[in-house]
Amino acid sequence: MEDRKLNKEKKSKKRPITTYKDLEVYRLSYRLAMEIFWMTRDFPKEERYSLTSQILESSRSVPVNIVEGYSKRRYENVFKRHLNDALGSCDETKVWLDFSKDCRYLLEEKHKDLIERYKEVGAKIFRLVERWKTYV
């Protein structure tokens, strides 16, 4: 009984969604993309046109696809397609993070932290796909 009460209180404190910036998954994915941007500044220069550009592109694609889908949310298939693209970019970013760790550009602890946060973003995108009508 107490758990239900807490869940109701949490739900009632949620802000209304009036813009893509109100979506928690957008804010999380944007922060992660910026964190990866700053992190890759320390990657070797010879990686600039390979690993660095790939991880930057995939990490930025996550929030960009969320925004593009949200902007077209009245069209279910278009909205879901962009969210699925965001999910794909999220998983792609995890692979580039694996490469970064294995090339020793990224410490194990930082890798684990970023992977966990991208898993959270992926789960939130999946839930958004499932509950898209809530955001129309």
User: What pLDDT shows up at residue 133?
Assistant: 66
User: What pLDDT shows up at residue 58?
Assistant: 98
- What b/e sequence results for 11-45 when a residue is b if at least 16 CB atoms lie within 10 Å of its CB, and e otherwise? eeeeeeeeebeebebbebbbebbeebeebbeebee
Dist CA 31 CA 74 (whole Å) = 26
pTM of the model: 0.85
Confidence of residue 4 (pLDDT cuts 50, 70, 90): low
Considering the segment(s) 21-135 as one domain, its CATH architecture is: Up-down Bundle (1.20)
**Is the pLDDT at 27 greater than 70, yes or no?**
yes
**Is the pLDDT at 9 greater than 60, yes or no?**
no
Instruction: Summarize pLDDT for 15-25 with one digit per residue, the tens.
Output: 678 889 989 99
